[in-house]
Amino acid sequence: MSYLHHYAKISYNEKFSKVIDRFGWIYTFIKALRKDFLPLTYNLIHSIMTTLVGFLRGINVGGHHKVPMAELKKNLTQLGCENVITILNSGNFVFESKNEDLPILENKIETVLAKSFGFAIPVILIPHKQINELVNDDPFASIEVHKNIRLYISFLKDTPKVKLTIPYISNDQAFSIIGVKGKIIVSVLDITNSNTPKGMEDLEKLFGKNITTRNWNTIQKINNC
């Protein structure tokens, strides 16, 4: 290596070192930004996200109004819902969303799904924390469960106007409503004397058609998501 070449290399290294000394704080700042600030920002964004549970009404019943869960998840994700999870095939899903007026979000989802599947699909959204509170309260704790007992939770789109005396018991004694809290209805069905009790019909007569019902096992699965 020639003297000039060696000198040029030393000179270059010295200049590079001076640049690092002068602007090294930028590198340090960016490194700290990636390490501390960005995760903090991510956590902050997700701290203002709300976990919601969605219920679709009247799909995948008897081969009608088919909605594949993979397609449902795709539509919800494209709409901006995050971390979407579908549960079973009856139209149940959990997702995260910005704090938004639930009726507005319900309408947005209904519009997207109607366009995608070609028929109207009513959507009811409930904060996940309400599902968690419901499960923790165990509204069926006092019910003696046997093979003919069915435990149900129904969800309303709007706050009910009807005032019931609880427990409400149907004329055939097979169906009873044991609790109403906000838009959530707790009911018990006994099929001992009939395989075709009219409990669901009673619910619609009392609260209207903007209602959807799930069994207690499904609600517990949703709560675990």
Amino acid at 42: Y
Separation CA 108–CA 111 (nearest Å): 5
Amino acid at 87: I
Note whether 134 and 153 are within 8 A (CB).
yes
Q: What local confidence, expressed as pLDDT, does residue 199 receive?
A: 85
Q: What CATH number does the domain located at 49-130 have?
A: 3.30.70.1280
**10-residue block means of pLDDT along the chain (225 residues)?**
47 54 60 58 60 96 91 97 97 91 96 97 97 98 96 96 92 94 96 81 93 97 96
Tens digits of per-residue pLDDT, 150-184? 999 999 999 998 889 999 999 889 999 999 999 99
Question: What are the CB-based long-range contacts (under 8 Å, 24+) for 62-71?
Answer: 65/117, 65/119, 65/121, 66/117, 67/91, 67/113, 67/117, 67/121, 69/93, 71/116, 71/117
Residue 69: which of 54, 80, 48, 49 has the closest Cα? 54
Q: What local confidence, expressed as pLDDT, does residue 45 receive?
A: 47
Q: What local confidence, expressed as pLDDT, does residue 80 receive?
A: 94
Domain ranges of the chain: 1-47, 49-130, 139-223
Contacts of 69 (CB under 8 A, 6+ apart): 86, 89, 93
Q: What local confidence, expressed as pLDDT, does residue 3 receive?
A: 46
Q: What local confidence, expressed as pLDDT, does residue 35 receive?
A: 61
Residue 216: which of 185, 182, 173, 172 has the closest Cα? 185
Output the six-digit token pair for 193: 């004397």
